[in-house]
């Protein structure tokens, strides 16, 4: 599986910047405002970021394997 460049760039940004910031932000606000599931929601976001990171890594490996032949 190789992702198109635009999809790869978006997923990489979401995985490296957006999801960790969202998880940290929710965790911090949950403590301040007493929001529900202060541990569960950030952990879920981090798990999703991890899975997306794995998919991005597989796509990168497949892309690099395809370019070795050239």
| pLDDT per position as a tens digit, 31-68 | 999 999 999 999 999 999 999 999 899 888 988 888 87
| pLDDT per position as a tens digit, 10-36 | 999 999 999 999 999 999 999 999 999
Q: What pLDDT, on the 0 to 100 scale, is given for residue 3?
A: 77
Q: What pLDDT, on the 0 to 100 scale, is given for residue 43?
A: 98
Under 8 Å between Cβ of 32 and 43: no
Under 8 Å between Cβ of 59 and 3: yes
Q: What pLDDT, on the 0 to 100 scale, is given for residue 68?
A: 75
Under 8 Å between Cβ of 19 and 46: yes
Output the pTM of the full model. Answer: 0.84
């Amino acid at each position: 599986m190789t992702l198109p460049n635009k999809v790869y760039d978006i997923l990489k940004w979401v995985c490296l910047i957006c999801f960790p910031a969202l998880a940290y932000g929710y965790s911090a606000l949950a403590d301040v405002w007493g929001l529900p599931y202060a541990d569960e929601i950030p952990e879920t976001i981090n798990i999703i970021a991890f899975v997306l990171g794995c998919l991005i890594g597989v796509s990168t490996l497949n892309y690099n394997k395809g370019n070795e032949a050239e």
